[in-house]
Every structure is written in C-alpha cells, then in structure tokens.
Amino acid sequence: MRRFLFSDPDFQTAFKAFLDERRGSPADVDAAVAGVLEAVRTQGIEALLDYSRRFDKVDLTAETIRVTAEEIEAGAAETPADVREAIAFAAARIRAYHSRQRPADQAWTDEAGVELGWRWTPLEAVGVYVPGGRAAYPSTVLMNAVPAQVAGVDRIAMVTPPGKLQPAVLAAAKEAGVTEIWRVGGAQAVAALAYGAGPIQPVDKIVGPGNAYVTAAKRRLYGVVGIDALAGPSEIVVVADNKNNPDWIAADLLSQAEHDPAAQSILITDDEAFAAAVEQAIAERLKTLATGEDAAASWRDHGAVIIAPLDESPALVDAIAPEHVEFALDNPERLSDRVRHAGAIFLGRVTPEAIGDYVAGSNHVLPTSRAARFQSGLSIYDFIKRTSIVKCDPASFAVLGPHTVALAKAEGLPAHALSASVRLPSGD
C-alpha cells in the first residue's frame, strides 16, 4: 500500500507514476490467445472440445457441450430459497432501471423539406461471457442478460467455463430468460461465439467480463463481432471524512480488493488519524476474510491512501477515472457533482459500492483501467443500434443537390457528384 500526501511537492509526479503502473495481463497472453482463436476459426468444434480437455480437464462432445433445459431447471431448484428471492429482486430492479433507458425513434421534416430521422433496433444475437474461475457470478448473468432482454435481442447465448455449473448461475439464467448455455470458457469460448463452432452459432456482439485471456480474445476479435469493453482488474476509490466508521470504509475497500490480486482500492481522506484507523481495520479484517489472500495482495501491491483536502477529491477522482467511487460524506453531491470521470458514483455513508454490484438496479459492468474518461458502463445502448433515415422529394433535392455536387467535386469524387447532378433539372 502506498501513502501520498497532497502537500508533498513531489505528489503529482509520484501519483502519476502510481496511476501508470501496469495492472493486468502478462505480455505472452496475447500470443497464446492468437493461436487459440485461429484454431477455433479453422477447426471449429474439434478445437473447442480439444481445448476443454487440455485447459479445463473436461471431456465434452458436440452433444454434451450444451446445458440442457432440465439442467437449468434442476440448478434453479437446487438454489437456496433466499438466493432465488434475491435473484428475482435484483432482476426486477435491473429490468426497471434499464427500461428507462429506452430511446425514442425520431422523424421530422426540416426547412428544406427533407424528411429526416432515426430508428432504434435491437441486435439479433448476443453472446454473454460469465466467468467461473474464482467464484460463481449470478449477478454477472443478470447484469448482462437482463438489459439485452429489455432491448429486445432475439437470441442470447451464454458461455461459462465447464465443470460444475453453480446452481445460482443457472437460477439467474432462468430468471433472465436465457435458455442457450454452453459449457465452454476462456479465449476459445469467445472464438466460438465470434466464428461459430459446431452447434454454437455466431453472434453479433459479445459482452461480459473475463480473465486476461478472455479480454485479449475480445480485443483481437473486435470487428469480427462487437464487444462491450475490455475489462481490467476492479477498482474503487472511497472519499471519506473522519465521521465515518473506519471498519465500514475498510470493508468497502476490501470489497474490490478481494476480486483479484491486481484490483485497486484507494482511500482519499483529509484526516491522517482516520486513515491510520482504516488501515488497522483492514489489517484486522484480512485475518479472517475467506478471500484474504487475494485481498491482501491487492491492498499491498496496488492499494493507496491519499491525504488531501476533500475539496481536491473531485480532481483526484477524475485523474484516477475509477470504475467505482464512493463519497462517504454529509452532502456528498457537493463534491460528486464536480466529478466527470467515474463508472459509477455511490453517495452517502450507507451506500456501499456492493449495493451497486447486486441490487441497486444500475449496471455493475463498468469501465476499468481509466476507461471512464471515454466510456460508460453497460446499458441498453449496448444492445441496440441507431439507423439514420433520409427522404427527399424533388423540391427538397433541388435544395441539397447542388451543394452535394460542389462538395463531391472538391473531394475529387466525380461519381458522387454525378449521382447528384443527374437528378437535377439541368442534368449532368
């Protein structure tokens, strides 16, 4: 864990160096992924099944790679009642939140008489990657599949690493209306969704987080398919004053640190004694936390405490551009309203980021690695596309045509100019 004093003359240099540190995949990941993608592209289901045997130690066939409807039902039934209730509660809130994002089609006639507008249509087929390595993630199913469902996507194909399928994941899939689930993970799963492999038909877009291999595969396949984003290790910034319970803030910082040894947790406070109390609370919690090994590595290698006036926190948050930021303060909007770059903002002392991970209704698939500077979290907009509409009659074309000809000639594109000029009364 690093400690930074805003008053230190070298603060900006040291802080920038900290932010520039690489957190993520080793350099050899991309090369390995390239081979996997090419094998699946050229060999299809045979390569997919071979990688399942080699990497996952699971012997599947083209017939057993798909999760059956009976397995989905059995998994949902096996899920404890309180978890099923929480899944339904979360799904309803996610559905309601994303339903409000639906944009309207537009159509109008402008002063030249041209009919203009746009219409929104859902994607036909989307692939959802659900990790299965470190834990079971029913929330990932909901956060990715429910917005796609709200958008009206025709086909949602879910992939998740083989082995024991966690009942809660299957319960979440059932709640989200996902009936197509494939037992395949890693870069090979992403390749199968992009190119198709045996019974797995290709999709138009792939969403959902994964490990370094999954992320590298999505990066390489962008253009073959659409992708939501390139997910990196999780991040949280907590802006807190000394009125907070140090143990609460420690828990919030650990809530992201436990995801991955490469995750990043940062505390910004104006009180050094409070910061020390939070650090002590983290040390105590790590002694008993089941995920303590990963959390401890994350806090040790990538954690930070910044001692700074709270009025400086919006600028610091913008420099970090974190996935999540909490303002655990009275009147948090006074500072949060000045933040431009953050995936999600959590306001007040009783709004921990974990609420957003599960049941707030907002999406937990958020930009990482400072991508909040230019990107938003997952939304209905990831599952719909806008088509422009233009219609001229002879009178309105007579207004637009000459300007089209002039610009086309200026660009050295005579066929463009001709396409317009032949429709003008003067001909070509």
Residue range 214-226, pLDDT digits in tens: 999 999 999 999 9
| pLDDT given for residue 165 in this prediction | 85
| pLDDT given for residue 232 in this prediction | 87
What is the CATH number for 259? 3.40.50.1980
Catalytically annotated residue among 175, 235, 279, 323:
323
Residue set of the binding site for substrate: 234, 256, 259, 324, 357, 411, 416
216, 144: one domain: yes
302, 171: one domain: no
295, 256: one domain: yes
| pLDDT given for residue 136 in this prediction | 74
Question: What pLDDT digit, counting tens, does each position of 284-306 carry?
Answer: 999 999 999 999 999 999 999 99
Is 324 an annotated catalytic residue? yes
Q: Is residue 289 part of a domain?
A: yes
Q: Is residue 20 part of a domain?
A: no
The residue out of 228, 261, 293 marking a domain boundary is 228
Catalytically annotated residue among 98, 324, 341, 364:
324
Q: Is the pLDDT of residue 109 over 70?
A: yes
Q: Is residue 174 part of a domain?
A: yes
186, 248: one domain: no
139, 248: one domain: no
Proportion of the chain above pLDDT 70, given as a percent: 98
What is the model's pTM? 0.94
Q: Is residue 340 part of a domain?
A: yes
Structure token pair of residue 55: 């990497």
The residue out of 228, 254, 277 marking a domain boundary is 228
Q: Is residue 400 part of a domain?
A: no
Band the pLDDT of 23: cuts 50, 70, 90. Answer: confident
Q: What is the mean predicted confidence (pLDDT) over 145-152?
A: 98
Q: What is the mean predicted confidence (pLDDT) over 388-405?
A: 97
Band the pLDDT of 25: cuts 50, 70, 90. Answer: low
164, 216: one domain: yes
Q: What is the mean predicted confidence (pLDDT) over 93-101?
A: 98
| pLDDT given for residue 28 in this prediction | 81
Question: What pLDDT digit, counting tens, does each position of 240-266 carry?
Answer: 999 999 999 999 999 999 998 999 999
Residue set of the binding site: 129, 188, 211, 234, 256, 259, 324, 357, 411, 416
Q: Is residue 307 part of a domain?
A: yes
| Residues spanned by the domain of 129 | 27-106+120-228
Other C-beta atoms lying within 10 Å of the C-beta of residue 247: 15
241, 203: one domain: no
Is 124 an annotated catalytic residue? no
Contact 14, 8 (CB under 8 A): yes
Residue set of the binding site for Zn(2+): 256, 259, 357, 416
Q: Is residue 165 part of a domain?
A: yes
164, 58: one domain: yes
Q: Is residue 56 part of a domain?
A: yes
348, 200: one domain: no
Q: Is the pLDDT of residue 53 over 80?
A: yes
| pLDDT given for residue 426 in this prediction | 80
Band the pLDDT of 211: cuts 50, 70, 90. Answer: confident
207, 277: one domain: no
The residue out of 228, 245, 270 marking a domain boundary is 228
**Domains: count for the chain:** 2
195, 236: one domain: no
129, 194: one domain: yes
